[in-house]
Amino acid sequence: MEEAVKISYILVRIVIILIAAKIGGYIAEKLKQPSVLGELAAGIILGPSLFNFINPYEPDSAFQLLHFLGEIGVILLLFQIGLESNIHQLLKAGLTSTLVATIGVAVPVALGFAYSMYAIADIGFNGAFLIGATLAATSVGITMRVLSEIKKVNSHEGKIILGAAVIDDIIGLVILSVVAGLVSGAGQSIPLVVGKTILFSVIFLIASIWLGIRYLPKMYTITRPLKINRTFVFSSFVVMMFFAAVADVIGLATIVGAFAAGLIFERLEEKEHFQAKIQPMAHIFVPIFFVVAGLYLDAKALFLPGMLPLVFALTIIAVVGKLVSGFGAIGTKTSKLAIGIGMIPRGEVGLIFSAFGLAASLITKDIYSALVLVIMITTIVTPPFLVRAMKNIKGTGAISESEQIL
């Protein structure tokens, strides 16, 4: 009987989280905001900030399972991002997009690290680096949605932003792996850990892309007559989990492996079929991650002495650090302001960074709450400013829902 009660206790919480995520996402979309904000808000409402229905700081077996399901959601999310990232488009991104992405990562990381070391007591090197990395992560899905609505996706600015965002994602994943390497390699030489992690990350991603280009299409050509391709979900899920596990074994973040698996399947002709088959699973697991991320936010901590100035300072760093990335488009007849604004929104990747930092005890729940608030602010304020900045720019095209980068 006790076991039955325990199972029902877990199942009820899963049901409530899924319903809350759906309602929160629906309300957010009605307000013309990304659903992730509504899912975060649902977690904040259910957590210690308001109703304290689920307290992540007093974890039981039920919450540990919820946390695990959220981790599955993160892996699925990065698999989708990899699946929707075009390798040829990445190779064609060119110098302009590369410069925009590099500046857009380097400046927030440097400013965030320097400010954190100066202003946050006992943050440590790894914690400060994690904060800087969180401020560097761009969520291109929000920008692409706005550009699609105003039919500016195919403008020069839109193409530069999209190319830069893909490069930004890859750099961000490498940085997260560096942070993970610094945590697991405590006591080792920092330059050695950083160099080794970057090398492993680059080799892993290149090897994954090479395997995908060389072998996966051939495998599906051979197996197509056997009708094995009906098992899209099974095959993609197994490969995704395997690559995530391999990444973890060699000291990288699991999401790097998931992203690499997505890049492999992106090469297949059946790409759209994979997207359609994997989407229902993502609709269940991904929102769980964002609700759980919201549970960890302690709104009361934001009113502690010095917290609001911290949020303000980190927001300024997050905004300015991306605005200056527009100068990477030097020598082109494009709106550098529009490009910079388009790189401002944080979102999924930033939340993943924050959650990792909290789980690894690199940051406290107070700092985590501040970072989540910064991510929400940058997500909300970007669309109206981007619309105004793109007003007089020529461009055509809208992207379908299946083509949007998450």
Residue 217 falls inside a structural domain: yes
Residue 199 inside a domain? The answer is yes
Residue of 86 and 367 predicted with greater confidence? 367
Helix H segments across 250-364? 254-266, 271-296, 307-323, 336-342, 348-359
Task: Give the pLDDT band (50/70/90) at residue 1.
Answer: very low
Is residue 80 situated within a structural domain? yes
- Total domains in the fold of the chain: 1
Q: What would the two tokens of residue 378 be?
A: 């940058």
- The answer to whether residue 254 is domain-embedded is yes
Please indicate, yes or no, if residue 53 is contained in any of the structural domains: no
Mean pLDDT in the chain? 80
User: 37 and 380 in contact (C-beta within 8 Å)?
Assistant: yes
In the predicted structure, residue 112 carries a pLDDT above the cut 80: yes
pTM across the whole model: 0.79
Q: Which domain holds residue 305?
A: 70-403
Q: What is the pLDDT of residue 316?
A: 95
Query: What is the rounded average pLDDT of the residues 210-228?
Result: 66
Q: Which of 38-47, 54-63, 175-184 has the lowest mean pLDDT?
A: 54-63
pLDDT at 42: 92
d(CA 346, CA 159): 19
- For the ranges 115-119, 181-185, 257-261, the one whose mean pLDDT is highest: 115-119
Query: Across residues 201-211, what is the average pLDDT?
Result: 81
Which of 15-29, 216-230, 270-284 is most confident?
15-29
Q: What is the pLDDT of residues 229-262, one digit of tens each?
A: 555 667 778 888 988 898 888 777 788 888 888 8
Residue 29 lies in a domain: no
Gap between the Cα atoms of 96 and 146, Å rounded: 22
Q: What is the mean pLDDT of residues 139-147?
A: 71
Least Cα distance to 375 among 390, 355, 359, 404 occurs for: 355
Angle between helices 307-323 and 365-389 (to 10 degrees): 40
Across 169-179, average pLDDT: 82
Q: What is the pLDDT of residue 36?
A: 83
Tokens standing for residue 235 = 């095959």
Q: At 106, is the pLDDT very low, low, confident or very high (cuts 50, 70, 90)?
A: very high
* Residue 239: inside a domain: yes
For residue 281, the domain's CATH number is 1.20.1530.20
Q: Taking residues 159-183, report their average pLDDT.
A: 81
